[in-house]
Structure 1
Amino acid sequence: MIEWRDRGIVLAARPHGETAAILEVFTRDHGRHLGVVHGGRSRKKAPLLQPGNAVSVTWRARLVDHLGTYSPEPIRSRAGDVLSDPLRLAALTSTSALCSFALPEREALPDFHARTEALCDALADGQGWLRDYTFWEVALLAETGLRLDLSACAATGTTEDLAYISPRTGRAVSRAGAGVWADRLLPLPPMLLGAEATLSEVLSALDVTGHFLKAFLAPSLGDRPVPPARGRLIEALRRA
């Protein structure tokens, strides 16, 4: 029998049989990992298995490649903390859905796990989460292979007057470097260079990360669609 204990973030719970659930957790030391929770659909356990919650889990299986079973225990009920705030609830749901969508299974990503924990805590506390969420999507792209390079112009090498991002490479481009190709480039939101994270700036930055989620990440995952939860967050932010 193989057994380990870890802490993590609930990403999703799906019905399994009549009373059980398949729990997906982004764990600190074992990455995105699944297991069966017996009685996971019960009134006692179902609230624990809400996306975004912090849990301690014990995983057991006969062989390492088996689905195995989880015994979860609560650490923090973040889903309950954001239930009265539709925007924060949408952002927490989007965070969980994007982790489930993008992260490799059973691959430890301790630094990104720590960043995701910090974002979920900011969402639960209601402090600074708009900026944190935006840069979390930038970090998610980097974890999956596309690191935005906004340090200098891809065409001229200058660090001055950076105004665009190449939609193919994710590199910054200056106004002079863009020339007649400016209308084919993505606008570079100043907040990605350190400016204040206003709502309009956040939406512009999320347009950039959204482009790369659809044009780069989704094709690399077999053209699976970006989770609808992210689209609902964007719609909610535009209405705010």
Structure 2
Amino acid sequence: MHLSATAIVCAVLAHGEHGAVARLMTPEDGLLPGYVRGGRSRRLKPVLLPGNIVQAEFRARSEDQLAQLTVELVHSRAGLLGEPLAAAAIEWATALTAATLPEGQPFPTLHVALDGLIAAIEAAPSARGWGSALVLYELLLLGEIGFGLDLSACAVTDARDDLIYVSPKSGRAVSRVAGQDYRDRLLHLPPFMATGGPARDWADIHDGLKLTGHFLGRDVLIDRRAPLLAARERLIDRIKRLS
């Protein structure tokens, strides 16, 4: 197996005395792992930072073998390490990707979305500039791995207008009229999650994060992946303090 791709670094784990296993998000082949010889060296450690874009070469004798991976830096996000909020957001988005996607399956839409999210964080470190993009990325990821929400019509009436809630059980949208007697049990649906585009205000961002967080915690980040939720909570706490 020989594969060459421009990829996003998502996770890096120490392997042996000097090496590392990196998991990269590629445009056409999805999440791929590879062993980087000397991956913890002074030369390569700054290259293998989550969020960096690298030119990657994967080589293996068989598909079952962990590929040998060589990387060259294409674009560095190291400058964002001095921005605690931006660094935490990139760390969360890449860690979520690495922990939830099956390896070797194509997710081209997710690759584009992750690349766009990290670029938005880089362009505007304030969460007001990328908070809605993070919510939409989490929403897209839920759908891509089989836990998508149905925000197209009301679960009760099939109405397509005035959808302002989501059922925490079914993941379906609920209209204002249908949900008025149960609003304390429903999740708020900010308009941007149904229509795309930016959030109107901080309240929309917080509502969106609460909504996607509910389904990530219930359906995805369980068992060995549960500790990831703590990293997400730390990120949300930072956003709340600054909003």
Instruction: Give deviations 1:118-141, integer Å, cap 9, x for gaps.
Output: 111111222732221121111111
Match of 2:210 in 1: 207
5 Å-filtered alignment, 1:51-130, equals 51-78=50-77, 80-126=78-124, 128-130=129-131
Runs of 4+ with deviation above 4 angstroms: none
5 Å-filtered alignment, 1:22-61, equals 22-61=21-60
The size of the alignment, in residue pairs, is 236
In the alignment, does 2:193 pair up with 1:192? yes
Shift of 1:102: 1.3
Q: Distance in 1 between matches of 2:64 and 2:201?
A: 46
3-state secondary structure, aligned to 2:154: coil
Verify the 8 A CA contact 1:13 1:21 in the aligned structure 2.
Answer: yes
Match of 1:165 in 2: 166
Verify the 8 A CA contact 2:21 2:35 in the aligned structure 1.
Answer: yes
Shift of 1:193: 4.1
What's the TM-score, normalizing by structure 1? 0.91
Structure 1 vs Structure 2: percent identity of aligned residues? 38
Verify the 8 A CA contact 1:25 1:34 in the aligned structure 2.
Answer: yes
Verify the 8 A CA contact 1:94 1:230 in the aligned structure 2.
Answer: yes
Among 229, 232, 235, which residue is 1:233 paired with?
235
3-state secondary structure, aligned to 2:221: helix
Shift of 1:226: 5.4
RMSD, aligned CA: 1.8
| Range 5-14 or range 197-206, more displaced | 197-206
Structure 2 stretches of 5 or more lacking a match? none
Verify the 8 A CA contact 2:163 2:173 in the aligned structure 1.
Answer: yes
Q: What one-letter code is carried by the residue in structure 1 that aligns with 2:132?
A: R
Q: What one-letter code is carried by the residue in structure 1 that aligns with 2:103?
A: E
**CA separation of 1:7/1:203 partners in 2, compared to 1, >3 Å: closer, same or farther?**
same
Shift of 1:152: 2.0
Match of 1:139 in 2: 140
| Range 170-179 or range 42-51, more displaced | 170-179
Q: Distance in 1 between matches of 2:161 and 2:99?
A: 36
Shift of 1:179: 4.8
Q: What one-letter code is carried by the residue in structure 2 that aligns with 1:235?
A: D
Q: Distance in 2 between matches of 1:174 and 1:115?
A: 28
Q: Distance in 1 between matches of 2:224 and 2:155?
A: 28
Shift of 1:23: 0.9
Match of 1:218 in 2: 221
Q: What one-letter code is carried by the residue in structure 1 that aligns with 2:67?
A: G
Shift of 1:162: 2.2
Verify the 8 A CA contact 2:132 2:208 in the aligned structure 1.
Answer: no
Q: What one-letter code is carried by the residue in structure 2 that aligns with 1:42?
A: S
Structure 1 stretches of 5 or more lacking a match? none
What's the TM-score, normalizing by structure 2? 0.90
Q: Distance in 2 between matches of 1:131 and 1:179?
A: 26
Q: Distance in 1 between matches of 2:16 and 2:224?
A: 29
Verify the 8 A CA contact 1:214 1:226 in the aligned structure 2.
Answer: no
Q: What one-letter code is carried by the residue in structure 2 that aligns with 1:234?
A: I
3-state secondary structure, aligned to 1:46: coil
| Range 222-231 or range 136-145, more displaced | 222-231
